[in-house]
A = this chain, B = another copy of it.
């Protein structure tokens, strides 16, 4: 296991170095099945496509359902199918990048397989991980799946339009995430209604601008 991770990390570092040299900001987007990662990406593409150049790598077990949804927005997208595997790894991303021109890109989002466990353990060459947690999943998830929240610079608390119909306590979730990962950012939003999306879009804009300004 240690050797697999060592080899993965070497390839992830090479991928990262190459994308940094091209001034592309790379986000590894994580979350449970159904947390709303693809819907968030669709709304993000629609909001940002006139101000930055984006591309997406979609990780799924078998289908191209998510890649098809992204492609409809006119954004370049590459599908990786893991054939049942529970996470993406850096060699898969390296291979996908052979088919995806990255020169001139501002933002590359890698949507990982829906899973709160395995994807947290594999670097893909990203600058940051962000995890999408939907309020319908319940308050206990950060403490039950701590590694993914520890690894993620940002937690997107999605589906906040459904809070009134659940027992979810936003303040308690923020506190738990702060305990697991002091300084991590938490952004409550609803990709569906648009509430809270502005803060997420600004987070992305700042990351992309910072990368552009690096010498």
**Residues of chain A at the chain B interface (Cβ within 8 Å):** 32-34, 60-63, 65-66, 84-86, 113-118, 121, 134, 136-138, 140-141, 143-147, 159, 161-162, 165-166
Q: How far is the CA of A140 from the CA of B84 in the complex (A)?
A: 16
A32 interface neighbour in B33, B63, B143, B165, Cβ under 8 Å = B33
Offer 24 A-B interface pairs, CB within 8 angstroms, sorted by A. A32-B33, A32-B34, A33-B116, A33-B141, A33-B144, A34-B134, A34-B136, A34-B137, A62-B144, A62-B146, A65-B140, A65-B143, A65-B144, A84-B121, A85-B117, A86-B117, A114-B144, A114-B145, A115-B117, A117-B118, A118-B118, A162-B165, A162-B166, A165-B165
**Known contacts A32-B32, A34-B137, A165-B161; is-contact A61 B115 (Cβ 8 Å):** no
How many copies make up the complex? Answer: 2
Additional A-B contact list (14), CB under 8 Å, known A32-B33, A34-B137, A34-B138: A33-B116, A33-B141, A33-B144, A33-B145, A60-B144, A61-B144, A63-B144, A65-B144, A84-B117, A84-B147, A113-B117, A115-B115, A136-B162, A161-B165
